[in-house]
Amino acid sequence: MVDSLPVDVRLDDPLKLACGLVLENRLAKAAMTECVADPRTNQPSERHDRLYARWARGGLGLSITGNVMVDRRYLERTTNVVIDARTDRVALRRWADAAQASGTPTLVQINHPGRQCSVFVTRKPVAPSAVKVDVLGSFATPRALEDHEIDALATRYAEVAGDVVDAGFSGVQIHAAHGYLASQFLSPRTNLRGDRWGGSLENRARFLLEAVRRTRARIGSSVALAVKLNSADFQRGGFEEDDALQVARWLEAEGIDLLEVSGGNYESPALMGIVDERSGKTLEPHMQAALPDGAQRANASGGSREGAPSGLHAPWGRGWRQPLEKKTPR
C-alpha cells in the first residue's frame, strides 16, 4: 500500500493499473444505479447504451456501472440489471460497446443486496445473520445463509465477472460498501455468525476475499478488478476505520487494481450528506425514498416510471431531497 501520494498529480494525468489497463485521466464516474432495466426482464437495454455512451463522451477516464445483481430473486431495486443464464448476451455486449465506444474503460459493479432488499422485491431476503434492517418496516427479517450458500455466492460473483468481461467490459468492481451483502459480512452488527464466515475480522472478510480471489481466477490478471469498501459504517460496534485499513491490506495482497472508499449504509446513510432533522443523522436517498412521504413526493416529481408501489423504486430524480428537508416540491 502506498504511504503517501505524489503531490504533483494532475487530473489529466493517465493512470496505469496493475492489470495493465491505462486510464487516460483521473476522472472516474462512481456507480449510480440507473433504474432503467425493464423490471420484468432485468435485461440491459438501449437506455443503458445511450446513457453510458453519453457519459463516456464527457471524457471520463473510467466509468463504473450501477450495481448489477448476481441473483434475480434479490435485487437492490426492481429495475436493476441481472446477470445470469437468462441475460441477453447480445444486449450485454451492446452495452459494453456503447459504454466504451469513446475509449472509456467501463467496469461493471457486481452486487447482492443481502438484507437490504426491500419487501417489494422479496419478503424472504437472505443475509449473513437474521438481523433486520432497522428502517421503517421496508425490509423483512432475513434468513441466515447456510455455509454452502455463502460459498456458492462467492463463486457467483466470479461467474458474473466472467460473463461481463466476456461481453467486452474492461473489468468489474465488487460492491463491498453501503451495507449490501459483502458489507454485511464485514460488520459485526450484521454478521453474528460463529462459523468460518463470522467472528474475527479475518472471518468476516472471508466472503469478500473469496469473491475477489475467485473473480481474479476467472477474469485473469490482465483485466481490472476493483472493490468498493466502506471506510466505516458510522455505527457503534460496526465496521470501523481500522478494520477498513486491514481489509484494504488484504485486498492489496489479493492483487486488486483499484479500491474505492465510501461509507455508511441504509441505517447510517452518511454518504449522501442529507440530514434527518429528527435524529441529526444524515440520510441517503435509498433511505429517504423508503419513507412513505418520500415515495409520494419522489413519484409526484416525475421519478418513478415503474408504477411500483414503493418509494424504494423511485429513482434519484428531482425532489428526492425534499421529504426530510421539508421543502416544497419543485
Ligand X SMILES: Cc1cc2nc3c(=O)[nH]c(=O)nc-3n(C[C@H](O)[C@H](O)[C@H](O)COP(=O)(O)O)c2cc1C
Which residues have CB under 8 Å from 86's CB, separation 6+? 41, 72
Which residues have CB under 8 Å from 44's CB, separation 6+? 37, 81, 87, 88, 91, 92, 94, 95
The nearest distance, CB 200 to ligand X, in angstroms, is 26
The nearest distance, CB 225 to ligand X, in angstroms, is 15
Which residue in the set 17, 23, 31, 324 belongs to the binding site for ligand X (CB under 6 A)? Answer: 31
Residues 107 to 136: which contact ligand X by CB under 6 A? 109
3-state secondary structure of 231: coil
Amino acid letter, residue 277: E
Residues 231 to 270: which contact ligand X by CB under 6 A? 262
The nearest distance, CB 163 to ligand X, in angstroms, is 18
* Closest by CA position to 49, among listed 108, 94, 104: 94
Strand partners, 174: 110, 227
Which of 94, 178 has the CB closer to ligand X? 178
Taking a C-beta distance cutoff of 8 angstroms, is the pair 145, 126 a contact?
yes
Residues 93 to 112: which contact ligand X by CB under 6 A? 109
Residues 268 to 327: which contact ligand X by CB under 6 A? 271, 316
Query: What is the length of the chain?
Result: 330
Contact call for residue 33 and ligand X (CB under 6 A): yes
Q: What is the DSSP string of 17-29?
A: -TTS-EESSS-EE
Give the interface size with ligand X as a residue count (CB under 6 A).
14
Contact call for residue 170 and ligand X (CB under 6 A): no
Contact call for residue 81 and ligand X (CB under 6 A): no
Q: Which stretch binds ligand X (CB under 6 A): 154-162, 173-181, 216-224, 239-247?
A: 173-181
The nearest distance, CB 146 to ligand X, in angstroms, is 27
CA 207 to chain centre: 16
Which residue in the set 15, 27, 32, 144 belongs to the binding site for ligand X (CB under 6 A)? Answer: 32
Which of 29, 132 has the CB closer to ligand X? 29
The nearest distance, CB 272 to ligand X, in angstroms, is 6
- E strand spans, the chain: 15-16, 22-23, 28-29, 62-69, 106-111, 126-127, 143-144, 171-176, 224-230, 258-262
Residues lying near ligand X in the complex (CB under 6 A): 30-33, 66-67, 109, 175, 177-178, 228, 262, 271, 316
